[in-house]
A and B are shown apart, each in its own frame.
Chain A
Amino acid sequence: DAMVIQNPRYQVTQFGKPVTLSCSQTLNHNVMYWYQQKSSQAPKLLFHYYDKDFNNEADTPDNFQSRRPNTSFCFLDIRSPGLGDAAMYLCATSRDRGARNTQYFGPGTRLTVL
């Protein structure tokens, strides 16, 4: 059974049109992460939630926001997508943030911006 679920798997949006990507987990993990991955690159951490505590990476554009209404769900909002935001968006979870905590990833949402 899938433990980290992302919807939709593929999303097409227009330049400047807000879009929301969804992630849910059945692991009851404390931490949920959002990564952006462009072609042939390693994933880049955008931000994460440690329980209800939001932690933004310094180089994450303001265009990207996130919400975590409860333990199971986390959303990525892109307020005004640009062509450069076309990428794979990966959600991940971990029990805690220590060195020994494995991050489990969802299948990703591939975003296309027209």
Chain B
Amino acid sequence: AQKITQTQPGMFVQEKEAVTLDCTYDTSDQSYGLFWYKQPSSGEMIFLIYQGSYDEQNATEGRYSLNFQKARKSANLVISASQLGDSAMYFCAMREGPLLQGGYNKLIFGAGTRLAVHP
């Protein structure tokens, strides 16, 4: 079963407007982390923002904020005041907590949303 769903393959927004990129996830773990990454055409994967499953406040980092709705299992990224340089692919990712028997859980990525910012 797909654990991270990004339903918007592509989005566009006008410069200086706000935009929301959707992400829903599926887990039965109580402990998990949610991450958003930006990948410009150069290919580098840039970490934007993190939300822990136990965090009560929505995470914010500059123009990025994460709209975390735990009951709905959604972790949407909000970019305020879009800039031309925000045009990129955006990946939502999740990592579940440690396994009881030891070992590890992988960082699981969604399929990504390509954002285009228009002047």
Residues of B13-39 whose CB lies within 8 A of A: 29, 31-33, 35, 37
B interface, by DSSP: helix, strand, loop or mixed? loop
Are the C-beta atoms of B43 and A45 separated by less than 8 Å? no
A43 with B45: in contact, given A99-B53, A99-B97, A99-B105 (CB under 8 Å)?
yes
Q: Is the CB of A88 within 8 A of B31?
A: no
Report B75-112 CB contacts with A as 1/0, cut-off 8 Å.
Answer: 00000000000000001000111100000111101111
Chain A residues lying within 8 Å of B109, measured Cβ to Cβ, are 42-43
Chain B residues touching A, range: 20 to 34
Q: Which of A92-114 contact B (CB under 8 A)?
A: 92, 97-108, 110
Instruction: Judge if A20 is at the interface, Cβ distance under 8 Å.
Output: no
Q: List 21 A-B contacts (CB under 8 A).
A: A40-B112, A41-B111, A42-B112, A43-B45, A90-B43, A90-B45, A97-B104, A97-B105, A99-B32, A99-B95, A99-B105, A101-B33, A101-B95, A102-B35, A102-B47, A102-B50, A105-B37, A105-B46, A108-B43, A108-B45, A110-B43
Interface set of B (CB-CB < 8 Å, partner A): 29, 31-33, 35, 37, 42-47, 50, 52-53, 91, 95-98, 104-107, 109-112
Q: Which residues of A contact B (CB under 8 A)?
A: 37, 40-43, 45, 50, 55, 57, 88, 90, 92, 97-108, 110
